[in-house]
Structure 1
Amino acid sequence: MISPKQILKKHWGFTEFRPLQEEIISAVQKQKDVIALLPTGGGKSICFQIPALAKEGVCLVISPLIALMQDQVENLNTKGIKAKTIPSGISQDEIITLFDNIKFGGVKFLYISPERLQSYFIQQKIKELNINLIAIDEAHCISEWGHDFRPSYRNIKILRELNPTSNFIALTATANKKVLEDISKNLDLNEPQIFKKSFFRENLAYQIFTVQDKLQRLIKIFTKTKKPAIIYVNSRKKTEQIAAFLNANNFKSSFYHGGLSTIEKTISFNNWMSEKTPIIVATNAFGMGIDKANVGLVIHLDLPSSIENYTQETGRAGRNNEKSFGVLLFNESDILLYKERLEKTLLSINEIKEIHKKLYQYFQISLGELSETTYSFNILEFSKKYNFSVLKVDSAIKLFVNNGIIEISNNYNKKSTLQFIVNSKTVLNYIENNTNIKNFTNSILRTYAGLFEQEVKINEFFIAKKAGITTSLVLENLNRLYNDNIITYNAVKSDAEFTFLFPREDDYTINRFSKEMKQYINQKKQKSEDLVNFVKNDSICRSIQVLNYFDESKTKNCGICDVCISKNRKVKKGISEEIINILNQNHSLSSSEISQSLVANEKDILIHLRQLLNDDKIRINHQNKYQLNL
């Protein structure tokens, strides 16, 4: 029989395993149930892929994200390993054909979502397969205390009945003791062997700084650091803006977010991997399948959603064991915005019930009726009709999907795109000759920037609202511009397609899931508080804080985080005098301009600025700059 190392060499090109991989694979091959806790970059997938390849049959992989499943399926297929997933929206006949291909076509991996597993028909088709291993990826989702809790994960144990001879391997990158216990209990694991790699990274320096001018700090960082870097931000628009700013300052960068086309994502990713653009600015959509060993720097320009997300994302730095940095830049306004955003998305049970009831009303479904129709849904239209916050509707829909109340297509939150393919002079001539479309065209040009340079994502309902016309007239006008070769227009049919999985029972349906929903909301609040406390705690070593969060006890300071460096560094004397001298020579300066003029730590400079303000020796003027208080 081919050995794990031979499989590793054949398909991945490596001759040695990473720490714990070989031990985990050995336990799986001995038919043991296994829980593997490997931080980001620990190579979790190999731990189930190699033992599955070493024996006859199909490995069933439960994964929560469609994009993650597709990414892994593509990666396996490029290695010559047959893997499949069940596309959304396919018919029962197509599912039968797919399972026949899996049974008789040498397919080694079937990736499936936990929601799809709830179908009795799918369960029976799985029963027909020769399953050699069941892998549960992102297993923390099974616990109400794990980030991204998914109640549908609780029903995975049905596979025990369907395939009693198959062993389980549960994998996660972020879990504390309580979550690991929940995983074992809820999967009915039989005396599982737990493999846990420490979260301690001796070569990774967590550095968190209070900064007012983040853009100037980026210039300062990249002037010193030439290693490949990832910058995480919380909006698609910001990825493009920050990348443009860096390029304008001669730092080669690209951007990446979920709204890009597959080709655009591939180009951005490849340019970064080849270091044609060594800096990539991204949302957290950038993360799956990244295996670049020499990333020296991960910067968060916005607060991440949790400590789990922070450690997962910073963990992409320093995989070559060289010193690397996880930098987070924040200020008090970031904390306020973070808290406000959380409040805007948190729901009460009454709000959840109201949105749920209105969804059925919106599609005219009667009490007691189980509709098998698939409905087109526009979140903006729905929110406007019932005067709901769009953010709260979005949060409620995610809860309904996670609890198996509705199923939603991949089109959710996708947008149509538009670009003018002629120059502005031609557009002006066109609208002068077609006056009935002039106001509409001008309205689009005022609403969206960059329409002549690239494809821009648009929302037809929003355009209709701005122009004061119907959505159908917007579509008619856009198609006219398209047919007259003025624009390219790629229309998305709707924001989403809904299928209701429960009959309409209003409050009764939500009451069944209210306990899980409340726990999810409470843990989201708790995780937000934990993150803010972590960011603001500058008295305890960052590594110790991270390890304590994940139930690891460590008392030795890392020596390289911002807290340790601050404690070890002797505070430079005479900073106040130097600030006064600099302000004497210059009428007024910002804090970043003062920092650039002084050879001192920015944190120390800010402390001295506050003291000088308190002593009335300096003041802040109307331009938000410091000047002497004469």
Structure 2
Amino acid sequence: MNSPVDILKRYWGFDTFRTQQLEIIESVLNDKDTIALLPTGGGKSICYQIPALIKEGICVVVSPLIALINDQINSLDAKGIKAFHIPAGSSQDEVVRIFDNLKFGNYKFLYLSPERIQSKFIQEKIKQLPISFFAIDEAHCISEWGHDFRPSYAELSILKELKNDTPIIALTATATKKVLVDIDSTLQLKEPILFKKSFYKPNLSYRILKSEDKLYRLKEIFTKIKSPAIVYVSSRKKTVEISNFLNANGFKSASYHAGLSAIEKEVAYKGWMTNRTPIMVATNAFGMGIDRPDVKVVIHYNIPSSIENYVQEAGRAGRNSDNSYAITLTNESDIKLTLNLFESSQPTLKEIKFTHAKLYQYYQIAKGELVETGFDFNILEFCNVYNLPTRKVFNILQILNNFGIIELNHFSQKKSTLQFLIHHNQLNSYKSANGKKIKFIDTLLRMYGGLFEQEVQINEFTIGKLVGITSTRVIDILNELHIDQIINYKKSSKNSTLYFLHPREDDLTINRSSKKITQLLSYKHEKIKNLIQFIENDTVCRSVQLLSYFGEENPKVCNTCDVCLRKEKIIDVSSQILNLIKERTEISSREICQILNYKERDILIHLRKLLAEEKIKVTNYNTYLLV
């Protein structure tokens, strides 16, 4: 049998493991339930991939994002390792074929989303597989106290029911003690071994920079730093605005957010990875699975949503162990705005009950009635009907979803479809009369089959690329063809689908979970308070603050953050002033400013400090002497 080091060398080209990787691998090889808490860039995937290659059977990996699953499978495929996932929309026959291939095709990995595992059919198929162990990636999603809670993750206790003696490894980059307890209890782990690597990153310098002109600061930073970078912003609109600003100032950047199509995301990501656009301006949608070792700087243009998110996003810098920077640009207005937005968007228990009752009323559901079909839901329309604040309602819906009161499927986006309504001969006549649309129509016919027989899903962005026009112009032309009754065009819908999981009982439904909901609301207030405290605390080393938050004892001072550098500067300037006075015996502040390469304001601050400490004294002629 190959050893872990042999596998590492053969497939990854490394001779040695990073800290704790080998110990985690050995724990899995010894069939122990394992929790691995490794910071971003700590090499979590190797911890389950190597034991899976050594052990008999198939490793089932639970992962939250399709993009992350695809990246992992492509990476394994490039190494000649066989892995499968079940594509969205697969029929039952296709799923049966996939599981047959898994059993008889020498596959080592099956990647599944947590939602897929809730399918009874999939569960039966898992029972029939020879499974080596389960790997739960991004395991913090299990806990409602975590920063990325996913209700489907909370149902993963089913794994022990399906395969009671099969070990589990849970992996995450950020988890507090409370979250670790939830991971253990939810997965029903048996005497799990916890591996917890320090979050201390000696090569990553945390900087909180106060600036009233953040755009100017961005220019300053990217004039000095020419390496790959990520700029995190708070909204989709800002990704475009900041990217346009950087491009107008001679920097190459792209924007990335959740509203982009899959193709647009891929184009932006490839541009960043190939250095065509080395600066990525993004919302936190640019997150899990981003694996580029040479990112030099991560900038938070806006205050992040939590310390957990901050650590995970900042940790995308310096994975190659080179010196790197995590910079947050902020000012007093920013902090006030963050607190105001938080307060205005966080609901009370009373508001949760009110909105919950209005949802039933909106769909005219009577008391005691349970409707099992889903409802098309548009949050803006709902809020307009009842004059409710959208941000607050969004948070209420998340809480109701997380506590199993409703199910809100945000990923039910319906793709655009079209079908031709006329025959080929009639279409030729239309093309003759509308010459400017010939190329467009012919492109549609080449790209998609069956357009005359049925509705076919289309992608406006892809059509635009082939025709050489924007996706907005594609939509305009399709609408014109629709109005002319040449096609039936249905534009994509981004509405969610809402399911009620309980009969209508109004307050009674909420009351069953009111204690936990109240605790959650309190916990959210605590998290924002911790975040603001971290940003405003300029007396304690940034690294020490972060390590203490995650429960590390005796954390090291980093000596590279803005707090540490400011302390060093104070000590350095003071000692230089003392040496200068000693050398000259008597000297004025003007002379000190001329000799020392510091701002006059800083020198005056240090002179006052030395006077207060009675290390120097001032004469009647405003000159300084040693005491």
* TM-score of the alignment, normalized to the shorter chain, above 0.5: yes
Quote the residue 2:195 is aligned against.
Answer: 195
Distance 1:394 1:41 in 2: 32
SS at match of 2:157: helix
Quote the residue 1:421 is aligned against.
Answer: none
Quote the residue 2:587 is aligned against.
Answer: none
Gaps of at least 5 residues in structure 2 are: 418-435, 437-467, 575-595, 607-627
User: How is 1:156-305 mapped onto 2 (pairs within 5 angstroms)?
Assistant: 156-305=156-305
Quote the residue 1:613 is aligned against.
Answer: none
Distance 1:603 1:245 in 2: 33
SS at match of 1:355: helix
Distance 1:194 1:44 in 2: 14
Establish whether residue 359 from structure 1 lines up as the match of residue 359 from structure 2.
yes
How far residue 149 of structure 1 moved from its aligned partner, in angstroms, is 3.7
How far residue 160 of structure 1 moved from its aligned partner, in angstroms, is 1.7
Distance 2:256 2:601 in 1: 32
Quote the residue 1:44 is aligned against.
Answer: 44
Establish whether residue 520 from structure 1 lines up as the match of residue 520 from structure 2.
yes
Quote the residue 1:568 is aligned against.
Answer: 568
Q: Does structure 1 conserve the Cα–Cα contact (< 8 Å) formed by 2:407 and 2:498? A: yes
Quote the residue 1:139 is aligned against.
Answer: 139
Q: 1:291 to 1:313 in 2, by over 3 A?
A: same
Distance 2:511 2:58 in 1: 38
Equivalent AA in structure 2 for residue 161 of structure 1 = E
User: How is 1:68-467 mapped onto 2 (pairs within 5 angstroms)?
Assistant: 68-77=68-77, 79-85=79-85, 99-100=99-100, 102-104=102-104, 106-118=106-118, 120-150=120-150, 152-409=152-409, 411=411, 454-455=470-471
Q: Any idea what the Cα deviations from partners look like across 1:225-256, whole Å, max 9, x if unmatched?
A: 22221111111111111111111111222222
Distance 2:18 2:360 in 1: 51
How far residue 514 of structure 1 moved from its aligned partner, in angstroms, is 3.0
Establish whether residue 18 from structure 1 lines up as the match of residue 29 from structure 2.
no
Q: Any idea what the Cα deviations from partners look like across 1:358-417, whole Å, max 9, x if unmatched?
A: 333333444444433233222211221222222222222222333344444454689989
Q: Any idea what the Cα deviations from partners look like across 1:470-524, whole Å, max 9, x if unmatched?
A: xxxxx99982376679xxx982134123344444443333333333333332222
SS at match of 2:321: coil
Q: 1:289 to 1:515 in 2, by over 3 A?
A: same
* TM-score with structure 2 setting the length: 0.76
How far residue 181 of structure 1 moved from its aligned partner, in angstroms, is 3.3
Equivalent AA in structure 1 for residue 328 of structure 2 = L
Quote the residue 2:58 is aligned against.
Answer: 58
Distance 1:29 1:11 in 2: 18
Q: 1:125 to 1:7 in 2, by over 3 A?
A: same
SS at match of 2:287: coil
Distance 1:101 1:406 in 2: 37
How far residue 102 of structure 1 moved from its aligned partner, in angstroms, is 4.5
SS at match of 1:207: strand
Equivalent AA in structure 1 for residue 518 of structure 2 = K
Q: 1:454 to 1:214 in 2, by over 3 A?
A: farther
Q: Any idea what the Cα deviations from partners look like across 1:301-337, whole Å, max 9, x if unmatched?
A: 0000111111111111111212111111101111111
SS at match of 2:156: helix
Gaps of at least 5 residues in structure 1 are: 418-425, 427-451, 459-474, 574-597, 609-630
How far residue 548 of structure 1 moved from its aligned partner, in angstroms, is 0.6
Q: 1:262 to 1:200 in 2, by over 3 A?
A: same
User: How is 1:421-570 mapped onto 2 (pairs within 5 angstroms)?
Assistant: 454-455=470-471, 479-480=479-480, 491-554=491-554, 556-570=556-570
Q: Any idea what the Cα deviations from partners look like across 1:67-93, whole Å, max 9, x if unmatched?
A: 544544454455554444456676767
SS at match of 2:165: coil
Distance 2:507 2:558 in 1: 52
Deviates more, 1:351-360 or 1:9-18: 9-18
Percent sequence identity over matched residues?
Answer: 56
How far residue 566 of structure 1 moved from its aligned partner, in angstroms, is 0.6
SS at match of 2:302: coil
Q: Does structure 2 conserve the Cα–Cα contact (< 8 Å) formed by 1:415 and 1:457? A: no
Report the structure number with the largest CA radius of gyration.
2
Q: Does structure 2 conserve the Cα–Cα contact (< 8 Å) formed by 1:541 and 1:561? A: yes
Q: 1:523 to 1:85 in 2, by over 3 A?
A: farther
Distance 1:603 1:291 in 2: 43
Deviates more, 1:133-142 or 1:403-412: 403-412
SS at match of 2:513: helix
Distance 2:544 2:256 in 1: 32
